[in-house]
Amino acid sequence: MSTKKHTPLEDKLIGQIKKDGPISVETYMNACLGDAEYGYYMHGDPFGRGGDFTTAPEVSQMFGEAIGVWFATAWQMMGKPKKFNLIELGPGRGTLMADLLRAANVLPEFAEAIEVHMVDMSPALRQVQGKTLDGVPVHVRFHQRFEQVPAAPSLIVANEFFDALPIRQIVKGEDGWHERVVDVVDDELVLRASDDVLSMAEVPLWARAAKVGEIAELAPARNDMARQIGTFIRRNGGAGLIIDYGHALSFVGDTFQAVRKHKFVDVLHRPGESDLTSHVDFEELALAFKDGGVDVHGPRTQQAFLLAMGLQERLDMLKKKAPARARIMLGKQADRLVSEKQMGHLFKAIAITDPSLGVPHPFGPAG
Ligand code: SAH
């Protein structure tokens, strides 16, 4: 018996695994993030300096403003509908939407057409979002699930949303591929390969040349979500912008990670108290969107996207109005968003469009 104090979710999972057998990485991730009682996103507010991690909208208002500029153009490409859904998936604190709406005001006709839909599984975060958006001059509705958003032409944004959706991991063994599972040894959670051999139909082509011991990641929940969004946009018209960290092409490797108080920790460390994510495979994600019937553009790096949306010009303008100390701060924030060493290259953007829309800037060949 270990003397280490477990989290309540850890005890719950240990009990469950002892009774019913090991659980897949996907089931583990699902429980850690979304368990109704103890899931990571279900209680507090994990963002910012006092929290566990900082996202781009929390770094600078320039991020949400740049996205607002992109959406204003997409709305024009849609033929300027008089009413449309502006949907955000997994909006966290609601900061991106607040910044985006402020930028939208420069085009009053665009701003007046907006009806905001915030989709978040976390009741605690929906409350935070309500506070952040209190007083905005547009109608805002909150939903737990995407299916609850009414049918209408739509613009959709998702920043660091897809990385939070649970993944499966499969491990190559001498005798074939195995599901990676969480089991219990001496009252502690451990990761191991399941004894059962998976059917080759479950192993994507790009993974088949892997060496023994290597891990490949599959994201059925992510793909289902992308297919559903693709179908929705195809049916109702519109576009979407997906920004996340990840790779442009599928590859073999383990990107499952846990972050707590701004540090990487083991994925089994304090279940329910650390943020679990994985890198987004943009190649697979694009295929799932296309399956839903939309065109996919990109990826572009976050750096290329933000600079094309006028980040440098916006920075110069904000600096002009700011006192000297704030100017240095603004420069650092912009740098964090676009420099290669920070978020600039690891983070990528793809656009999805209803096929009648054409290719939005900066996703064209010259973008
Ligand atoms: N976009 C925000 C927050 C990113 S964190 C930002 O950039 O700051 C991930 C967000 O997705 C959280 O708000 C979390 O509650 C939400 N989320 C995670 N899984 C979800 C799911 N399956 N359905 C809806 N929302 C989800």
Per-residue pLDDT of 273-290, as tens digits, reads 999 999 999 999 999 999
- Of 61, 120, 229, the residue with max ligand 1 atoms within 8 A of its CB, to mutate for a pocket test, comes to 120
pLDDT given for residue 207 in this prediction? 97
C-alpha triplet 270, 126, 294: angle, nearest 5°: 95
pLDDT given for residue 1 in this prediction? 47
Please state, as a whole number, how many other Cβ atoms lie within 10 Å of the Cβ of residue 226: 28
Whole-prediction pTM value? 0.97
Q: Say how many residues make up the chain.
A: 367
**Backbone dihedral region of 80: left (phi > 0), alpha (psi from -120 to 50 degrees) or beta?**
left
For residue 167, name the pLDDT band (cuts at 50, 70, 90). very high
Asked if 179 and 192 count as a contact pair (C-beta separation under 8 A), the reply is: no
Spacing, Cα 136 to ligand 1 middle (Å): 21
Burial class (CB in 10 A: 0-12, 13-18, 19+), 79: exposed
DSSP state of 199: P
Spacing, Cα 315 to ligand 1 middle (Å): 27
Site residues for ligand 1, CB cut-off 6 Å: 41, 55, 57-58, 90-92, 96, 119-122, 125, 159-161, 164-165
Asked if 204 and 63 count as a contact pair (C-beta separation under 8 A), the reply is: no
Three-state DSSP at 191 gives strand
Three-state DSSP at 328 gives helix
Domain ranges of the chain: 42-166+219-353
Each residue's pLDDT tens digit, 107-134: 999 999 999 999 999 999 999 999 999 9
Asked whether the predicted pLDDT for residue 50 surpasses 80, the reply is no
For residue 43, name the pLDDT band (cuts at 50, 70, 90). confident
Any idea which residue has 């295929």 for tokens? 287
pLDDT given for residue 4 in this prediction? 66
Averaging pLDDT over each range in 122-126, 290-294, 325-329, which range is the top one?
A: 290-294
CATH class of the domain defined by 42-166+219-353:
alpha beta
Q: Whose CA is nearest to atom 21 of ligand 1?
A: 121
